[in-house]
A and B are shown apart, each in its own frame.
Chain A
Amino acid sequence: MWSVEIVEVEVLEKDERNVRLLIRGVDVPFVNALRRTIISEVPCMAIDEVVMIENSSILQDEIIALRLGLIPLKTDLDSYNLPQECPCKSEFGCNLCRVTLTLDVEAKEETRTVYSGELKSENPEIVPVSDKIPIIKLARGQKLRLEAYARLGKGKNHAKWQPVSMCTYKYFPKIEVLSKCDACGKCVEICPRKVLAKTENKIEVRNLMACTLCQDCVEVCPQNPPAIKVEHEEDTFIFSLESTNALPPERILTEAIKILDKQFNEFEEQIKVEKGEES
């Protein structure tokens, strides 16, 4: 059986878009599962179907539809269902699994840019994260009228449904300067991330977090064996995540844990069923 150890999480940085966590007491399979769940399983809202009513612009319908799909929309996970889980069972969708956005623009006077802010949503909560995304440019007399349907979806089906634009982890570095070091300063010079610093007759680790474990400092050390050792902690990771702003980063994390939990339970159930069948 799998023994549960104490997992410690420390928030290193956080703003409305990014989080950087220090996670202690887990292994690679776990953090990687968390990363993959965030990328491919946490749902968010994106335009999925577009009905073109009129398009006399110079971009084809498909290109405009693709551009609309890629616009990240603010997502409300509590009031909407995934289309395949919605009780309406309809392919077209209902109020609980679909949001309609409309666009009706015309260049009357001169050439103009149409921005994402001009999309009118039936739900004022589900709107593009930025009002300034150019959708298309229209010359005078050109028109674009369309109706777009946004749905919840998962990153494994299309990247537009990924709630993050970056989600990575790296090992927590461990740097040790041995006593035989003569402070020649070569390692300080070569380090691309300015991790090390020289003070009088000692080498000091200034910015441990920035180390990429590239081992340049070890290779450059004139002593044999090298007087500096760069390793990584086995059970500590720096986990960074950048949201597309569709969901707040902390919500993405809690949602991912919930999904992971559900999948583990389902997996356990399946094993139990199969064992039962065997005996």
Chain B
Amino acid sequence: MIIPVRCFTCGKLIGDVWEEFARRVKAGENPGEVLDSLGIKRYCCRRMLLSHVEIIDEVLRFYEEAEKRKEAKVYY
């Protein structure tokens, strides 16, 4: 759903680097190199970021649309 706060296996904090990781990978950088530069060394922590899908963004779209509709109703 949303990026976990810590690595499931070792408990290292990884939530705080997700946004930078996602942004840089989207910009075309090599994910492995980004992880190295963020100091994520162990493969348990690396898979947390590499395999994550931020589904909450997809779910939130429904709520955004609902809000827009409400607004449109008030307008007309």
Contact = CB atoms under 8 A, between A and B. Distances in A.
30 contacts: A58-B56, A58-B59, A59-B2, A59-B56, A63-B1, A67-B5, A70-B6, A72-B13, A111-B60, A116-B16, A129-B13, A130-B13, A131-B16, A132-B17, A132-B19, A133-B15, A134-B15, A134-B18, A137-B57, A139-B67, A140-B63, A140-B64, A141-B63, A141-B67, A142-B63, A164-B11, A165-B6, A165-B10, A165-B11, A244-B13
A59 B11 contact: no
Interface in B1-49: 1-7, 10-13, 15-19, 42
- The interface residues of chain A, by DSSP majority, are classed as loop
A132 B13 CA distance: 11
B57 A244 contact: no
B67 A159 contact: no
Interface string A45-87: 0000000000000110001000100111000000000000000
Interface string A139-176: 11110000000000000000100101110000000000
A242 B64 contact: no
Contacts of A242: 12
Nearest to A164: B11
B5 A71 contact: yes
Nearest to B5: A70
Contacts of A141: 63, 67
